[in-house]
Amino acid sequence: MQYKAETPEDYINQLPDDRKAPMAKLRKTILENLPKGFEETISYGMIGYVVPFSIYPDGYHCDPKLPLPFMNIASQKNYIALYNMAIYATKEVYDWFVTEYPKHCKRKLDMGKSCIRFKYIDDIPYELIGELTSKITVDQWISYYESVIKNR
């Protein structure tokens, strides 16, 4: 589901009542653990965390008018989603997350390439998401991104 929001606060205010508190807590967890340099914004109709143009002026290769994406959170129809590009892009982060997840959550991991789906909002592993958020610095993300893009 996409919301017409201009700020993360607008996004959360438009959510159904049962989603507001978990999304606000998820956002707070991310902001408390987000490495310096990433910036919070609305990106792709979701709350996004990007490398701003002031740090990486080339932007995203798929659309250079957009800043380099790193992470998003969204309230979808049947779940809350966390999109983390480091999980998709780096085997080390993926392996770490898959190993740690069962230690923090009693439910089976529901994950796509970069999307982690939380169908049970009472069982979101906020502490683990905080750790995941802090795993990659802006410089590491840019370096990894450029190494992949230049090898295409």
Q: Is the pLDDT of residue 105 over 90?
A: yes
Q: Where are the beta strands (DSSP E) in the chain?
A: 39-43, 46-51, 68-75, 80-84, 115-118
Encode pLDDT of 119-130 as tens digits.
999 999 999 999
How large is the greatest C-alpha to C-alpha distance in the chain, in angstroms? Answer: 46
Chain-wide mean pLDDT for the chain?
Answer: 94
Query: In 3D, which of 47, 50, 34 has the Cα closest to residue 134?
Result: 34
pLDDT score, position 1: 59
The pTM of this model reads 0.93
Distance in angstroms (rounded) separating the CA atoms of residues 131 and 151: 29
Share of the chain above pLDDT 70, in %: 97
Encode pLDDT of 54-90 as tens digits.
999 999 998 999 999 999 999 999 999 999 999 988 9
* Ramachandran bin of 37, using left for φ above 0, alpha for ψ from -120 to 50, beta for the remaining angles: left
Share of the chain above pLDDT 90, in %: 85
